[in-house]
Structure 1
Amino acid sequence: MKMIKFLGILTVSFLSVTLHAQQEKEKESISTVLDAWHQAAADANFEAYFSRMTDDGVFIGTDAMENWQNSEFKEFSKPYFDKGKAWSFTALQRNIYINEAMDMAWFDELLDTQMKLCRGSGVLRKTDKGWKIAHYVLSIAVPNENVDAVVSLKKAKDSVITQELKAN
């Protein structure tokens, strides 16, 4: 009986270590996809950039009205890529989480950008072609002590947008 219990504990331990190793491998793959996606934008490589997103991907930008479905985001972005100057984001810090089935992941990252520190977060889905970005949210990081000043700067435009959205 002790031997069966020991073998059970050994099996559970082995499976736990194996699962952890697989998750770490997937996290490395996801990090590689995100880094390559950011690099494709910095290199103004339109095809490489959008090939890392799902066809139904969503990009939420820093402006209140930037909720881009993939086709709209491509249309908006194309002129920037065509000019050879898109945007440049470098991850300074990143956290990645994976579901038990290891087919969905979510992440957050602190970014060094032309807008200074920003926060990116999103969801990736594992496809036949590897991990793809399904949803990405970009936010400008505002120090708490500067929130009042930022709110003051955006108050007028936010009021107009709020009224328009309430009217619909």
Structure 2
Amino acid sequence: MGTTFRLLRIFLGESWHPRFVTFRHPAPANTEWHRRVFGCRVTFGQEFNDIVCSARDLEAPNPGADPVMARYSQRLLEMDHGPQTQMSDRVRNLVVLLLPRGHCRVEIVAQQLGVDRRTVANRLSVEGTTFKSLVNAMRRELLASYLHEGVRTMSEVAALLGFSELSAFSRWHRQQFGYPARTRQHKSP
């Protein structure tokens, strides 16, 4: 529930709070922590675990919405995410959501997964990868899709890939591909 709440706040803004939250389990001895975290009425011993929001919250504009991300997200949703899902798959799923919002940092991903950053790093290491390499691979994949789509400027693409400045995107591009981003239309991905 905490992870879902944090994801909703990423999309709806840090000031967003649900109308109320319900839990199936009985109330703990002290419920103050729950009320402080969720910022609303919290009830226990209910039929469902729920985060209840207003209808207008569901109609809030999504500044990061775009067709490439929608197609990629659909593929992620269709994948089997059973209990044996690898850490790298779980991290990729969060990276694709967090990149366009500029929140793609290992600390944020670890928080969303309910672990600390060292746990993320250790599990990725066991799988033979790193957080940075997963982010770079995702950026390369999304860059190819955005360029293939051909309707966005390089500044827009840079922002969707999580770069706050075009210059940071340009440095990353040169490091990844060995040539400047401004010559990209002449090269293949």
> Do the structures match in fold with TM over 0.5?
no
- The alignment's TM-score, normalised by the length of structure 1, stands at 0.24
Rg bigger for which structure? 1
Task: Name which structure has the greater RCO, CA cutoff 8 Å, separation 6+.
Answer: 1
More helix by share: 2
Higher strand share: 1
TM-score norm. by structure 2 comes to: 0.22
